[in-house]
Chain A
């Protein structure tokens, strides 16, 4: 039987019936047809075995293009533009005053040290590099935080913020089936995709108030209160993406009150620790305040921006539990989720972070570089605000530029106005009105102010 098949295979041209056709039951008996090109030729049989003769049709025939990523699309359009004054305020990747990408000195040093050490490339444990997990939790919660001393934090190394969020989403799906995650309106575009693919239902809470170009605090509180008890509330620890609008410390306290009241669980996404204020500790204040109240908290970290390690994909998921025993169980389940996703996390980025944070000299250097980067952004905000205030005679309040924090600013421009920014002024930004200040230099602030003023007043 087997040899018959073998001779058949060599006698007939390479062929396969399309999956589609087989499903329609078009296999027929008859004589051999040697046609190669028509994919929908009926199958022929030879003895007990049906031999199909047709040219190859992929079973993935009907697959369409996935929608393009809106943020990356901006960069592509920018590249295609030849105008000399063009400005890319799309992607949130830090640029120097010369608008060049920046590799932190401290990262270069750590990378060089790794090369010299020549350590092996063996698998990390599923939960990641122990030295990294230790320092990342300490960085977020504070070295002396009781939750760390009491071993109440389940920390697992993740693939940057995205990967860490996905692990948490999978944990929620598995252990809180049907529970919703509430995300801010607006939020980082990938949040929805992550929860969708993890099959976790989500809904939005009001956040951005276009009237004030600030926080819709009452709306936010009302929506969190209205959510079914035991929902997960996704909060940006600092430097909200895309708006740049953070709650004040007092507002954070009220948010914590409401979350406790409704027995919700706070779920922090901390992608910019150090980048908002320039201080790692200050930027962790919101998370630490929740933890200090004894709440059980989920917190995803990323080192993409604050260490510029975008491409190395290094981050962590932390779950602060009420007991070390619960933390151990949760950690084991996070591992159980990670193993069929990628087995164990990548070693390189973890070693770099562990070396930098774990070495006092390098850590100090990192703090200085971060202050420099955050400082540049603050300066740019000030220059932009000054330019807008002095050039705009309408009396419009542009102070939101100063109040907002971090890499991004929500300008309050609508889609038509954003299009004007691009089409008339060659300023590239996302259509929600977000500009990335990391891509703005002091030298270009006046030009940008002109563009914004023109778009705001002369376009509706």
Chain B
């Protein structure tokens, strides 16, 4: 009604009648991104002790986001000159150079001979997307092989670039580790010259990484099959706490003479999530080819968004090129990785102390920000509904969300949902748990009681 009144008022000079129609009637609501949907559900939950183990963003032991000191120092040194378009090019080149040194090794041949084409990218997503478009442009009939499972957005990225995907075996649900034999089989059976996406460390979502020996074998087989390895490096430094160590897989491939492609993200390891800083690099035969490929990559990004924003680029380039700030950064990365390792150990110990009959070794075997818990969808839902603990449906836990204060509660909750027959006595033993439920405004106890037929006094 309002609309038609509006229309009549609006058409003063026009003599032609308009056909009232919406252009967008056929646009259906998009499915929510699975990871963001977890955050949304978490935000909507009024419970004061809710826990978000969904998105992979680092939190300190207070559960707070962290701005690294190295970032603050770098910021102090940069200024309004960033806004000048004249300095942008120089800063961007510096970012690419430093990023390449970080992942390929300062002393590597590819760096010395400048045998890489690189552009700054909008974090890891942006780097992957530019590569996917590049792959489509120059190998229009190719496909991409993803590990099974992989980050949920990978499929959308290559999908929107019109590159079909396949999977190769990766995670072994029984061992909760790597299914190496099946992985090698799949690599062997793929047509020669296939494109593969590999995660060099801290695999998302499983936390399961190949050993160095396994990487050597994978690299050999890749050589035989002439596959193209594309590495998505989102967690360099976050896996072991050491950026050099975490680049091992890539160094192995480099030594074997592969000309790889690499998407780097500085979202996690520098805490620059919102600034969208990353780098896409492709190794080439020589400097000349590098220039040609870079021009093609730039063209793809120019028609997508121009270039990435300079603020984040200048921060990263400063952090990596200033030795003092870089040293500080390396320390801070170690602190973050160490805290996560500690939480893994603590969570596992807590579950074992609770007497869980299940095997929780994978919590400490797995590496990086994520733990593939093995929890079922039903258990994940129960954790959200009854315990206000949020994670993605595949049971992926972001260990960054676990703190000294909440780890016991998380352990008990996991223990609770994975128990087929849990005695009420154990619940009564959980002193802190009871106190928490008193504070919570939603009647956790009552819900549980209804669901389980238990009488839990609050």
Contacts and interface: CB of A to CB of B under 8 A. Distances in A.
A328 B32 CA distance: 13
Contact of B303 (A124, A193, A265, A321): A193
A323 B22 contact: yes
Given A257-B16, A313-B305, A344 B10 contact: no
A6 B257 contact: no
A120 B83 CA distance: 21
B3 A323 contact: yes
Given A196-B303, A308-B83, A342 B126 contact: yes
Interface in B151-205: 153, 156-157, 159-160, 180, 184, 192-193
B306 interface: yes
Interface in A129-172: 146, 150, 158-160, 162-163, 166, 170
A158 to B, nearest CB: 8
Interface stretch (A239-247, A332-340, A382-390, A419-427): A332-340
A61 B285 contact: yes
A448 interface: no
A57 B285 contact: yes
Contacts of A56: 257, 259, 285
Interface in A86-123: 93, 101, 103, 107-108, 111, 115, 118, 120-123
Contact of B305 (A22, A163, A310): A163
Interface in B373-422: none
Contact of B295 (A8, A51, A65, A330): A65
Q: Which of B13, B258, B274, B293 has the most CB of A within 10 A?
A: B274
Contacts, number: 296
A346 B292 contact: no
Given A16-B223, A166-B305, A332-B29, A261 B311 contact: no
A91 to B, nearest CB: 8
Interface residues of A, number: 102
A294 B7 contact: yes
Contacts of B160: 170, 337, 340-341
Given A19-B226, A312-B310, A108 B18 contact: no
A59 B67 contact: no
A63 B289 contact: yes
B84 A59 contact: no
A66 interface: yes
A111 B21 CA distance: 44
A346 B273 contact: no
Interface string B264-294: 0001000111111000001111000101110
Contacts of B289: 58, 60-61, 63
B420 to A, nearest CB: 38
B359 interface: no
B247 interface: no
A339 B274 contact: no
Interface in A280-328: 292-296, 308-314, 319, 321-323, 326, 328
A197 to B, nearest CB: 4
The 4 closest A-B pairs by CB, nearest first: A14-B257, A159-B305, A347-B274, A163-B305
14 contacts: A5-B220, A16-B257, A49-B224, A63-B289, A103-B80, A175-B27, A193-B302, A294-B6, A294-B10, A313-B305, A323-B22, A340-B129, A341-B160, A343-B125
Given A64-B292, A257-B15, 20 more contacts: A23-B193, A52-B223, A66-B299, A115-B76, A122-B57, A124-B274, A158-B305, A162-B306, A193-B303, A294-B18, A311-B83, A313-B309, A322-B21, A322-B22, A330-B24, A339-B33, A339-B125, A339-B156, A341-B160, A346-B122
